[in-house]
Chain A
Amino acid sequence: MDVTGVPSKDRPGQERAAGALWQAAPCPVVVADAGGRVLELNEAAARLFPRAEPGASLGAMMPGWLAEAHRTAAASGAEGEPVWGRVGERSFDALPTRTPDGDTAWWLVEDTDRRQAEIALSRERGRTALLADESYAMLSALTVDRCLEVTARLAAEHLADAVVILPAASRQRLPAVFALRGGTVHRRTVPDDSAEVPGLTEALQGFPPTSSRWIDPGGLPSWAVPEEFDGPVGAVVVTPLPGHGIPEGALILLRRGDESGFSRNDEVFARLFAARAGAALSAARAYAERTEVMTILTREMLPPQLHRVHRVDIAGGYRASVRSELIGGDFYDVHPGEDEGAESLVILGDVCGKGLEAAVTTFKIRNMLRALLPVAGDHYRLLSLLNAALLTTESTRFATLVLASAVRDGDRVRLRLTSAGHPPPLIVRSGGVVEEAPTRGSLIGAMTDVHATTVRVDLGPGETCVLYTDGITEARGGPLGDVMFGEERLKDALSECGGMPAEAVVERVQMLAAEWAGNRDHDDMAVVAISGPHTGSPTAAVRRANDEEIRR
């Protein structure tokens, strides 16, 4: 571009040799003196500035940004800095060069196409980023409410000045969701009158969208405009939120009166945005419905909260394997005796297998046991009946169980313990000695014959009987890796638990086993501790608090 170095003598026949180059340059060139007077312009410049001619003032003929740049350059006495500006619809880089006479030649290099391509690219990048954001936000929004909120917020941020989302009419009357750019998202019930907004009924039924040019912004009913929306509505887009097979609702985008309407491009993009939002809404709805079913089912299946039953302390803890759901094959239950003098039945069991199917079997066994409570005075008979009942069901699953009947007698707790194929209960004596209750029996639901021995154990104050499932002892891990927690470690841990309250024993066992497993997953773990409470009489305040707790 630099032509000032071309010696003028190489261009004979021209007064100003360089001038010929300017004349022939494909881009507009304007030469002006330090005073801002136009000296020369080439043909391209004359086409660009039809009113300009030599002798006129630069400021009068040319855009202000160029005149300003020229003044700055002249004032500094230097060549000047390249500048950029618009001439009508077009845009140019203006590059100054110094002529040998000390004047300034402005070379105007057009970049209209490049600029527009850049603008288009940046807009597309913005849209891609928005779609990426939308996808992430939507995939993380597993509830319908949250999905609607995210859709409204993103649309108000990027697509329009205000947004209204109407959930599909086939759904129960959900409130419409409103959002303003930079404002909050809120919900309001709207009249069931979609016909007032052109194209809305169609969108709610999943028909293709109506072009925004056919919608009269002035004809919108007031309910379809957010309350805080200031100024008249200038343009409206109504687009469906298509779900998986059924429409999820409609998205209404509003722009203010004084702003440009929606281009064809905008509308296409809005549809793309809405398609994703609709799919996410459908997925969230499906997830929410399944979760609700799960919640209702598991509510009955979760182990009960335990505390104190007829002056016997009972605590239980259950940790499902992380892989599975909150429910699994381990369970425990406590059935309080009719009064303080009657035995309460504590059951802890483990159904073979994992997952929902094991949970269903667990649920059945717990219900059968409840029905068999009248025979709980005879553990063997109870187990035989349960075994027979299980064998008649289609399930091929079997279970191991421990039964513990407990009753307070003076300051002692009298226990009858029966294991049916289950690890025997451990008794923690107050001195820290850990005994294994010598009860053995066959597992339940596998063979027609059942055998089991019941043992009697007494607990003194602060002594504890611990029932546990093999998820505890079979947890693999430890400081050096793949080692089983094992019964010996459990007994060792329990030997430090003499005199501890039942809850503390349960928590300690759970904690040690879970810490042993560390980051590895473990099987379901269940622990129940039955303790002889410390003697000493509760004061009036405590008794009242306990009574209140029982009532609630």
Chain B
Amino acid sequence: MTASKSDPVRTQALSARLWDAVREGDEYAAADVVLSAVDAGLDAESALLDVIAPAQAKAGTEWAANRISVTQEHTATAINDRVIAALAHHGPDETRRPRRGRVTVACVEGEWHALPARLLAETLRLRGRWVDFLGAHVPVPNLIDHLHRTRPDTLALSSSIPIRLPAAHAAIIASQAAGVPVMAGGAAFGPGGRYADRLGADAWAPDARTAAVRLEEILARPYVPPPAHEPLNDLPHLADQEYTLVTRTTHRLATAVLAALPERLPAMAGYNDRQRRHTAEDLVYVTEFLGAALYLDDAGLFTRFITWTAGILAARGVPAHSLAPALDLLAEQLTDFPRAVALLRDGHTALQAVSAAGW
């Protein structure tokens, strides 16, 4: 592959054109933007990472800002996925090209955002790796079964939502025990990949190009798996059982909070069924993030989520401070759990900060 330096101005313009097509749900126009650029000399890797990836990121930010619906976001993803497929089949047939280093690319159980992983898989393929792409939401047992059957040199594990980190941890430990080193990637692993390190991943990469370099490094040295261990060895605070109990009672907690919420949030009296369902889902989500923050013993994980949620709500005309009663009610349910109570207090403080900022 020629490493022709791509022109950022040109790729940005292409990405904007791709986004226009994707937003309109026009698959043909979308594919045309990318394929004709490649025919005109754009490097395939640049098409993936500098044209398609930013367009996909745009879908996420546009959804967060409530400028497109969740349906449009799904459509955009599906179209980008098809464009990637078309790109993969475009150009010379490289199926017979010798490949060095076998990599399994998979999303953590419960992770449905498969496109970043797909972009990585295609990038690694372009760079001559033998790639097995397992897609979204790969249950840990199926993943480990796959590793035992195919014996890849590395597992690239993708996750965008931190609530999947306990599952990621299980996958990392089991993969290493099977003799396969793990490279983690995706927003779930925190700023600078800090959670990847906490969970014992062998490498972390913020983007596909770095991942290709990290992979090179992993392949260059023999792999000696870490000694036998379980999650508790990496995260001794789990012994206090707070994570376990909060996670196991998520639905009970959400039910209790939902029952008490109308007293603190009078606006709820006017909610229709769908709004009530959304509220229940949001409560479960908050509780799941609380669980993840307890798992990693990391307040930042929870406060970033609260700040982000406040932004999402604000974009939909729901004032950020409406989250506060839910946090208070949760804390009242969890008085015997000092770490959880402290996290909820931190969440509350973060909420006040964004409310003060006028959200």
Chain A contact residues, CB within 8 Å of chain B? 132-133, 136-137, 140-143, 145-146, 149-150, 153, 184-185, 287, 291, 295, 319, 322, 326, 462, 478-481, 496-501, 503-504, 507-508, 511, 514-515, 534, 536-539, 541-542, 544-546, 548-549, 552
Contacts of A542 in B (CB 8 A): 28, 31-32, 35, 86
Q: Which residue of A lies closest to B251 (CB)?
A: A481
Cα(A498)–Cα(B75), bound, Å: 10
Contacts of A295 in B (CB 8 A): 149
B254 and A479 form a contact (CB under 8 A): yes
Cα(A481)–Cα(B39), bound, Å: 52
Cα(A257)–Cα(B79), bound, Å: 67
Using known A-B contacts A184-B222, A479-B254, A545-B35, determine if residue A141 contacts B25 with beta carbons closer than 8 Å.
no
* B89: interface (CB < 8 Å): yes
Cα(A223)–Cα(B140), bound, Å: 42
A534 and B179 form a contact (CB under 8 A): no
* B78: interface (CB < 8 Å): yes
Cα(A137)–Cα(B87), bound, Å: 42
Contacts of A498 in B (CB 8 A): 71
30 contacts between A and B (CB under 8 A): A137-B177, A137-B225, A140-B178, A142-B148, A143-B148, A149-B179, A184-B222, A322-B141, A322-B142, A479-B254, A479-B277, A479-B281, A480-B255, A481-B255, A500-B71, A501-B25, A501-B75, A501-B79, A504-B74, A504-B77, A507-B77, A515-B110, A534-B26, A539-B31, A539-B32, A541-B31, A541-B39, A542-B31, A545-B31, A552-B89
Q: Which of A132, A507, A534 is close to B25, meaning CB atoms less than 8 Å apart? A: A534
A145 and B25 form a contact (CB under 8 A): no
Using known A-B contacts A480-B251, A534-B25, A536-B28, determine if residue A503 contacts B82 with beta carbons closer than 8 Å.
yes
A546 and B86 form a contact (CB under 8 A): yes
Cα(A145)–Cα(B147), bound, Å: 13
Leading 7 A-B pairs by shortest Cβ distance: A504-B78, A140-B177, A481-B251, A136-B228, A479-B280, A541-B35, A545-B86
Contacts of A319 in B (CB 8 A): 137
Cα(A185)–Cα(B86), bound, Å: 41
Contacts of A496 in B (CB 8 A): 69-71
Contacts of B71 in A (CB 8 A): 496-500, 504, 508
Contacts of B74 in A (CB 8 A): 497, 500, 504, 507-508
A146 and B254 form a contact (CB under 8 A): no
A423 to chain B, nearest CB (A): 22
Cα(A140)–Cα(B147), bound, Å: 11
Cα(A505)–Cα(B227), bound, Å: 44
Cα(A300)–Cα(B324), bound, Å: 54
A133 and B284 form a contact (CB under 8 A): no
A102 to chain B, nearest CB (A): 54
A480 and B254 form a contact (CB under 8 A): yes
Extra pairs beyond A132-B228, A499-B71, A534-B25 (15, CB < 8 Å): A136-B177, A140-B177, A322-B139, A479-B251, A480-B255, A496-B70, A497-B71, A499-B25, A501-B79, A503-B81, A507-B112, A511-B112, A541-B90, A542-B31, A548-B90
Q: Which of A291, A480, A536, A545 is close to B148, meaning CB atoms less than 8 Å apart? A: A291
Q: Which of A150, A499, A549 is close to B75, meaning CB atoms less than 8 Å apart? A: A499
Cα(A541)–Cα(B37), bound, Å: 10
- The secondary structure that dominates the B interface is helix
Q: Which residue of B lies closest to A545 (CB)?
A: B86
Interface mask (B77-119 → A, CB under 8 Å = 1, otherwise 0): 1110110011101100101000000000000001010000000
Cα(A515)–Cα(B25), bound, Å: 25
Contacts of A552 in B (CB 8 A): 89, 93, 95
Q: Which of A149, A326, A549 is close to B89, meaning CB atoms less than 8 Å apart? A: A549
B27 and A501 form a contact (CB under 8 A): yes
Cα(A97)–Cα(B252), bound, Å: 71
Q: Which residue of A lies closest to B227 (CB)?
A: A133
Q: Which residue of B lies closest to A504 (CB)?
A: B78
B142 and A326 form a contact (CB under 8 A): yes
B277 and A539 form a contact (CB under 8 A): no
Q: Which residue of B lies closest to A185 (CB)?
A: B222
A532 to chain B, nearest CB (A): 13
A525 to chain B, nearest CB (A): 11
Contacts of A508 in B (CB 8 A): 71, 74
Which residues of B in the span 176-192 have a Cβ within 8 Å of any Cβ on A?
177-179
A292 to chain B, nearest CB (A): 9
A142 and B178 form a contact (CB under 8 A): yes
Q: Which of B93, B179, B227 is close to A141, meaning CB atoms less than 8 Å apart? A: B179
Contacts of B149 in A (CB 8 A): 291, 295
Contacts of A153 in B (CB 8 A): 224
* B320: interface (CB < 8 Å): no
Contacts of A546 in B (CB 8 A): 86
Interface mask (B21-64 → A, CB under 8 Å = 1, otherwise 0): 00001111101100110010000000000000000000000000
A129 to chain B, nearest CB (A): 9
Q: Which of B75, B136, B258 is close to A480, meaning CB atoms less than 8 Å apart? A: B258
A255 to chain B, nearest CB (A): 22
* B151: interface (CB < 8 Å): yes
* B331: interface (CB < 8 Å): no
Cα(A136)–Cα(B177), bound, Å: 8
Cα(A539)–Cα(B39), bound, Å: 13
Contacts of B139 in A (CB 8 A): 322
Contacts of B86 in A (CB 8 A): 542, 545-546, 549
A539 and B178 form a contact (CB under 8 A): no
Q: Which residue of B lies closest to A495 (CB)?
A: B71
Cα(A137)–Cα(B228), bound, Å: 7
Contacts of A549 in B (CB 8 A): 85-86, 89
Most chain A beta-carbon neighbours within 10 Å: one of B89, B90, B280: B89
Q: Which residue of A lies closest to B39 (CB)?
A: A541
Cα(A326)–Cα(B138), bound, Å: 11
* B283: interface (CB < 8 Å): yes
B27 to chain A, nearest CB (A): 7
Q: Which residue of B lies closest to A542 (CB)?
A: B31
A357 to chain B, nearest CB (A): 20
Contacts of B151 in A (CB 8 A): 143, 145-146
B145 to chain A, nearest CB (A): 8
Cα(A150)–Cα(B37), bound, Å: 49
A495 to chain B, nearest CB (A): 10
Cα(A479)–Cα(B250), bound, Å: 9
Contacts of A499 in B (CB 8 A): 25, 71, 75
Contacts of A141 in B (CB 8 A): 178-179
A501 and B78 form a contact (CB under 8 A): yes
Q: Which residue of B lies closest to A135 (CB)?
A: B228
Contacts of B89 in A (CB 8 A): 545, 548-549, 552
Cα(A143)–Cα(B178), bound, Å: 9
